[in-house]
C-alpha cells in the first residue's frame, strides 16, 4: 500500500538535487536513477541517494525520521562488504533565506546517503546485458559471498518458515492487486503451488534455522547490486529497511543471485557460482538445504516481479512498458522454478588430461533443474581432506591407496546427501580402480536415481600436452603421473566411452548425446 505521503512531496528536494549548481564542484551533468524505494543522483565523483517518501507492505519511509534511520542503517549494513563505497550521511537543509543547501547548517528537510561514484558499466548487471560478464569472475564472486555469509551474525530465534511465508504472502497480495499485469488465475495457481512447496519444506527450514544457517544476510543479492571495484566483485546496497527480510537462510540469500543469472540465460555463470559457493561453504548439512532451493529460487523470482510492479507508478512511457514485460517475465520464472525437475547422477571418469573437469563443468548447468547439478571433483576433495587450498601441491602421502579410498568415500557421502535432497550431481574423478567405479555404480543403484557414467579417452601425447599446460589448477597431475596412470590395470570398463581428443565443444556434444541430457538451446548457452 502507498500512503498519502508520496514522492510528490519531495519534488523540491528532487529538483534541487537535479541541479548542477547544487554541487561543489559543479559536475558537467547529473544522472538520475529511480527505483521503487530510492532516487540516486550521480554528480561528479559522488552519488547521493535519498529514500522515497513511501509506505509499502514491506517498508516504511513515510516520515523524515524514518528515512534518516534507514539511511544510517544503510551505511552500517553495507560496511561489511563495501566500506570504500559508503561515505556518510548528508542533510539537505533549508537555510534562513529559504533556499536549500547540501550539507550546510539549517533545518534538515531530507537525508541522503553519500557514496563514492563508480562507473555504471562496472555493475555486473550492465556487463550481463552487454554480454561482457567475465566467466572468470564467478569464482571470486562466490568466494566473496561465502566469506560474507561465514562472518554474518547467526540468528537461531527467527522462524525461517514464517519469514518465508510472510514474503510469499506479500508477493501474492501484490500480484492480486495488479490483475492487469498478472492474470488472477495465474496468481491463484502460483499461490497454491508455492504454498504447497512451503508446507513440504517447513520442517527443513526450521531445522536449518536451528543449525545456524539463518543469518543477517544481504537480502537483495542480484546482479544490479554487485559492482567491480578494483577488479573484484563487491556486494553493496544490502537491505537496510527490514531485519526480518535480511535475516534469512544463507541459501535463500544466494538464491536471488542464482535466479537472476538463470533468468537472464546465464546458466553457466549461475552454476559456476553455485558450485564454488557450495565448495567454500563446505558443510555436509548444507547439502540437505538443496531440497529447498526450488522454493528459494521461485520466491526470489516472485519478489523481483513484485518489486518491479511496485515501481510502475513511478515510471512512464517506454520505461513502464519495459517494466511491465520484466514483471511478467519474472513471474513466469517463478512459475517455472517451482515446478517438477528431473534428477540425475552422472559420473565422468578418465585418466588425467582427458578433460573430465572441463566436461563436467560444461554439463553441470544442463543437468537437472536450476541452477544445475552439483559438481563434485576428486582433486578438490583430496585437497580439502588434507586441509589445503585447492592450488597447493600435495606430497606423495596425498596419493596413497588409503588416501584415494578416503577421497572416494568423501565423494560418495556428499553425492548421496545431494541426491537425498532431490538435486542432481556429477562426480568428476579418475575412477581407474574397479572398486572405485563400483562405489559410484552402487550409489546409483541404492538411491534409485537415474544414473549414467562415461569414460573419457585420449592419446598419450594429448594427455601429456594438456597436463603440462595447466596453471593454478587443483590437479597435481603432470607428465610423470600420466605415464604412471597409463600403466594401471583398470580392468574391464563398462562405462560408455567418449573420445576426448577433440575440441571441447565437440566432446561436450558427444557426451550430451551419450548421456541423453540437455538440448540444443542448453548447449548454446554453456558452450
Q: Considering the chain, what is the average pLDDT of its residues? A: 92
Is 60 in a helix, a strand, or coil? strand
85 and 142 in a single domain? The answer is no
Residue 405 has pLDDT above 70, yes or no: yes
Residue 445 has pLDDT above 70, yes or no: yes
Say if residues 62 and 3 touch (Cβ distance below 8 Å).
yes
Any domain includes 439: yes
Any domain includes 296: yes
Q: What CA–CA distance (Å, rounded) separates 311 from 174? A: 12
What is the reported pLDDT for 35? Answer: 85
- Split at pLDDT 50, 70, 90, the class of 4 is very low
* Helices and strands counted in the chain (H then E): 20, 17
Q: What CA–CA distance (Å, rounded) separates 268 from 363? A: 9
Query: pLDDT tens digits, residue range 354-396?
Result: 999 999 999 999 999 999 999 999 999 999 999 999 889 999 8
Say if residues 337 and 259 touch (Cβ distance below 8 Å).
yes
310 and 358 in a single domain? The answer is no
The helix (H) or strand (E) run that includes residue 453 is strand 450-457
Query: pLDDT tens digits, residue range 456-504?
Result: 999 999 999 999 888 888 898 889 998 999 999 899 999 999 999 999 9
Phi, psi (rounded to 5 degrees) for 232: -115, 135
Say if residues 373 and 421 touch (Cβ distance below 8 Å).
no
Identify the burial level of 409 via C-beta atoms within 10 angstroms of its C-beta, where 0-12 means exposed, 13-18 middle and 19 or more buried.
middle
What is the reported pLDDT for 521? Answer: 52
Any domain includes 2: no
Domain count, the chain: 3
Any domain includes 1: no
Domain boundary, last residue among 117, 140, 175: 117
What domain range includes position 170? 124-337
Q: What CA–CA distance (Å, rounded) separates 215 from 249? A: 6
58 and 176 in a single domain? The answer is no
109 and 164 in a single domain? The answer is no
Q: What CA–CA distance (Å, rounded) separates 513 from 510? A: 5
419 and 285 in a single domain? The answer is no
Any domain includes 183: yes
281 and 319 in a single domain? The answer is yes
Q: What CA–CA distance (Å, rounded) separates 254 from 251? A: 5
Q: Which residue, among 162, 256, 277, has the nearest Cα to 209 in the 3D structure?
A: 162
Q: What CA–CA distance (Å, rounded) separates 411 from 98? A: 70
User: Which CATH number covers residue 499?
Assistant: 3.40.50.300
Q: In the numeric block, which cell numbers belong to residue 307?
A: 518489486
User: Which CATH number covers residue 241?
Assistant: 3.90.1200.10
Q: In the numeric block, which cell numbers belong to residue 284?
A: 555436509
Say if residues 195 and 168 touch (Cβ distance below 8 Å).
yes
Pairing of strands 38-43, 374-377: unpaired
Q: What CA–CA distance (Å, rounded) separates 34 from 192? A: 33
Q: What CA–CA distance (Å, rounded) separates 296 from 337? A: 9
What is the reported pLDDT for 519? Answer: 58
The helix (H) or strand (E) run that includes residue 407 is helix 401-420
Sheet strands (E) in 160-260: 214-216, 226-229, 232-235, 247-249
CB atoms within 10 A of CB 291: 18
15 and 59 in a single domain? The answer is yes
322 and 380 in a single domain? The answer is no
346-to-26, 377, 439, 442 alpha-carbon distances in Å: 60, 12, 13, 13
The strand pairing partners of 377, in sequence order, are: 428
104 and 162 in a single domain? The answer is no
281 and 379 in a single domain? The answer is no
Identify the burial level of 489 via C-beta atoms within 10 angstroms of its C-beta, where 0-12 means exposed, 13-18 middle and 19 or more buried.
exposed
Residue 509 has pLDDT above 50, yes or no: yes
Identify the burial level of 28 via C-beta atoms within 10 angstroms of its C-beta, where 0-12 means exposed, 13-18 middle and 19 or more buried.
exposed
What is the reported pLDDT for 523? Answer: 56
Residue 57 has pLDDT above 90, yes or no: no
Q: Can you tell me the mean pLDDT for 298-308?
A: 95
Domain boundary, last residue among 337, 363, 384: 337
94 and 39 in a single domain? The answer is yes
DSSP conformation class of 304: H
Instruction: Calculate ∠ Cα 273-328-320, nearest 5°.
Output: 105
Q: Look at 316 and 174; give whichever has higher pLDDT.
A: 174
Domain boundary, last residue among 337, 372, 397: 337
Any domain includes 506: yes
Any domain includes 198: yes
The helix (H) or strand (E) run that includes residue 450 is strand 450-457
72 and 201 in a single domain? The answer is no
Q: What CA–CA distance (Å, rounded) separates 49 from 34? A: 10
3-state helix, strand, coil in the chain (%, to 5): 55, 15, 30
Query: pLDDT tens digits, residue range 90-125?
Result: 999 999 889 999 988 889 999 999 999 999 999 999
Sheet strands (E) in 178-235: 214-216, 226-229, 232-235
What is the reported pLDDT for 6? Answer: 42
Any domain includes 253: yes
Longest dimension (CA), the chain: 92
Report the Cα 103 to chain-centroid distance in Å. 38
User: Which CATH number covers residue 113?
Assistant: 3.30.200
Q: What CA–CA distance (Å, rounded) separates 22 from 43? A: 9
Amino acid at each position: 500500500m502507498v500512503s498519502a505521503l508520496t514522492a510528490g512531496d519531495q519534488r523540491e528536494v528532487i529538483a534541487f538535487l537535479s541541479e548542477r549548481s547544487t554541487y561543489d564542484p559543479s559536475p558537467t551533468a547529473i544522472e538520475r536513477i529511480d527505483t521503487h524505494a530510492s532516487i540516486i543522483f550521480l554528480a561528479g565523483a559522488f552519488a547521493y541517494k535519498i529514500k522515497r517518501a513511501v509506505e509499502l507492505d514491506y517498508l516504511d519511509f513515510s516520515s523524515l525520521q524514518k528515512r534518516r534511520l534507514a539511511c544510517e542503517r544503510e551505511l552500517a549494513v553495507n560496511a561489511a562488504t563495501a566500506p570504500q563505497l559508503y561515505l556518510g550521511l548528508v542533510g539537505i537543509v533549508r537555510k534562513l533565506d529559504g533556499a536549500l543547501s547540501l550539507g550546510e547548517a539549517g533545518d534538515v528537510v531530507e537525508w541522503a546517503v553519500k557514496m563514492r561514484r563508480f562507473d555504471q558499466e562496472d555493475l555486473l548487471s550492465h556487463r550481463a546485458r552487454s554480454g561482457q560478464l567475465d566467466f572468470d569472475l564467478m569464482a571470486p564472486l562466490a568466494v566473496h559471498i561465502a566469506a560474507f555469509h561465514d562472518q554474518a551474525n547467526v540468528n537461531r530465534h527467527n522462524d525461517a518458515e514464517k519469514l518465508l511465508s510472510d514474503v510469499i504472502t506479500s508477493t501474492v497480495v501484490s500480484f492480486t492487486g495488479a490483475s492487469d499485469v498478472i492474470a488472477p488465475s495465474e496468481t491463484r495457481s502460483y499461490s497454491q503451488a508455492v504454498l504447497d512447496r512451503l508446507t513440504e519444506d517447513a520442517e527443513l527450514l526450521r531445522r536449518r534455522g536451528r543449525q545456524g544457517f539463518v543469518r543477517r544476510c544481504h537480502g537483495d543479492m542480484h546482479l544490479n547490486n554487485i559492482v567491480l571495484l578494483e577488479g573484484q566483485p563487491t556486494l553493496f546496497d544490502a537491505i537496510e529497511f527490514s531485519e526480518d527480510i535480511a535475516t534469512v537462510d544463507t541459501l535463500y540469500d544466494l538464491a536471488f543471485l542464482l535466479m537472476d543469472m538463470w533468468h537472464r540465460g546465464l546458466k553457466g555463470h549461475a552454476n559456476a557460482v553455485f558450485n564454488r559457493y557450495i565448495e567454500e561453504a563446505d558443510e555436509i548439512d548444507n547439502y540437505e538445504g538443496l531440497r529447498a532451493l526450488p522454493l528459494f529460487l521461485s520466491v526470489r523470482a516472485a519478489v523481483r516481479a513484485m518489486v518491479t510492479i511496485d515501481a510502475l507508478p513511478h515510471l512512464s512511457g517506454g520505461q513502464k512498458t519495459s517494466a511491465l514485460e520484466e514483471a511478467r517475465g519474472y513471474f513466469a520464472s517463478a512459475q517455472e522454478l517451482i515446478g517438477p525437475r528431473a534428477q540425475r547422477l552422472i559420473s565422468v571418469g578418465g585418466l588425467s588430461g582427458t578433460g573430465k573437469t572441463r566436461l563436467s563443468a560444461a554439463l553441470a548447468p544442463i543437468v537437472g533443474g536450476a541452477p544445475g547439478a552439483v559438481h563434485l571433483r576428486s582433486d578438490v576433495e583430496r585437497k580439502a581432506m588434507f586441509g589445503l587450498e585447492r592450488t597447493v601441491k600435495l606430497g606423495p602421502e596425498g596419493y596413497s591407496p588409503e588416501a584415494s579410498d578416503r577421497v572416494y568415500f568423501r565423494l560418495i557421502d556428499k553425492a548421496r546427501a545431494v541426491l537425498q535432497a532431490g538435486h542432481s550431481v556429477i562426480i568428476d574423478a579418475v575412477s581407474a580402480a574397479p572398486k572405485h567405479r563400483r562405489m559410484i555404480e552402487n550409489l546409483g543403484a541404492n538411491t534409485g536415481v537415474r544414473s549414467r557414467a562415461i569414460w573419457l579417452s585420449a592419446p598419450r601425447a594429448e594427455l601429456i600436452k594438456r597436463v603440462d599446460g595447466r596453471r593454478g589448477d587443483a590437479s597435481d597431475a603432470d607428465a610423470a603421473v600420466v605415464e604412471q596412470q597409463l600403466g594401471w590395470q583398470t580392468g574391464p570398463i563398462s562405462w560408455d566411452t567418449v573420445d576426448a581428443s577433440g575440441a571441447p565443444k565437440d566432446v561436450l556434444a558427444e557426451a550430451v548425446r551419450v548421456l541423453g541430457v540437455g538440448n540444443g538451446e542448453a548447449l548454446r548457452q554453456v558452450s
